[in-house]
Homo-oligomer: A and B are copies of this chain.
Amino acid sequence: MPLSPEQIREIEDQRSTPQPTLRAVSPGMEKHLYTAHEVLDHGFVRVIDYMGDDAAICQAARVSYGKGTKSVQNDEGLIRYLMRHWHSTPFEMCEIKLHVKLPVFVARQWIRHRTANVNEYSARYSILDREFYIPAPEHIAAQSVVNNQGRGATLEGEEAARVLEILKADSNRCYDNYEAMISDEGQQGLARELARMNLPANVYTQWYWKVDLHNLFHFLRLRADHHAQYEIRVYADAICNIVADWVPAAYGAFEDYRLGGANLSGRAMDCVRRMLKGEEVTQETSGMSKGEWREFEAELRG
């Protein structure tokens, strides 16, 4: 359990004192505020703040003086239209601020999304906790043989046990030595900015991450995808659940057009048209490479 009693008390304090505001309020999001949604063995995602709601997207799209929304149905139609036609600026008018605790190797993937604001816990300034990601046995997987950049079947038996043993032992030894090097008992103590280099990439870090809804959707499309590494996908999934409560209409459009949709090439669309006319199309007659054809067939199967 990642939170100390003191931390829980701090969170409860924040949740106990509603204040009046004139701003747009999303009731679905208020219930998430500050609460830690657990991810992996020591991580979490929690909402620190948000700006806007579904109505705010419509209000911005219409550059309104007042609320700028019409009927719920009308607003949903507008939101779907904006999503379908890649009118991204109204979605940028919503913003979310998250506090995330995550292993460093996940943080390194995450930070590649540059259009966001980040404030990370400083290991130059502070001492990191003894918390390391150790995968659950069912997530200890072999290197994939079809995809150089992914994992295959779950490892079992002795091999899995050996992996777990190594990860735990190396994490703990590295942390013991980290502590020994920075200690100022009977010695000067190594600078923290140097000592941290001894910690492996499964150590947990944390940050405040703030992003607009359009760029968040872009992040989620790539990271909630089945090609994404499991350890970042579970964070993306947790955020998807939060966003669905925050901006239900926008999330619905995102789910239909991005997450559940398909991006077909000109060649693929040509094949679809020929198939609808009754032609038997094969990889050889499709103009696609083998890998591309395999992905295309998977899309058609759904």
**Chain A residues within CB distance 8 Å of chain B:** 3, 7, 9-11, 13-15, 17-25, 30, 33-34, 48-52, 56, 59-61, 63-67, 77, 80-81, 84-86, 89-90, 92-93, 95, 97, 99, 103-105, 108, 111-112, 114-115, 117-122, 124-125, 133, 135, 139-144, 148-153, 155, 159, 162-163, 166-167, 170, 173-174, 177, 180-182, 184, 187-194, 196-202, 206-208, 210, 212, 222, 227, 229, 255-257, 259-270, 272-273, 275-276, 289, 291-292, 295, 299-302
- Evaluate contact between A117 and B92: CB separation under 8 angstroms: yes
Whole-angstrom distance between the Cβ of A302 and the nearest chain B Cβ: 6
Known A-B contacts A89-B119, A93-B210, A265-B261; the reply to A197 vs B202 at CB < 8 A is: yes
- Evaluate contact between A174 and B200: CB separation under 8 angstroms: yes
Chain B residue numbers with a CB within 8 Å of A222 are 86
Known A-B contacts A21-B21, A66-B10, A93-B119; the reply to A142 vs B49 at CB < 8 A is: no
Known A-B contacts A89-B118, A121-B63, A276-B275; the reply to A197 vs B167 at CB < 8 A is: yes
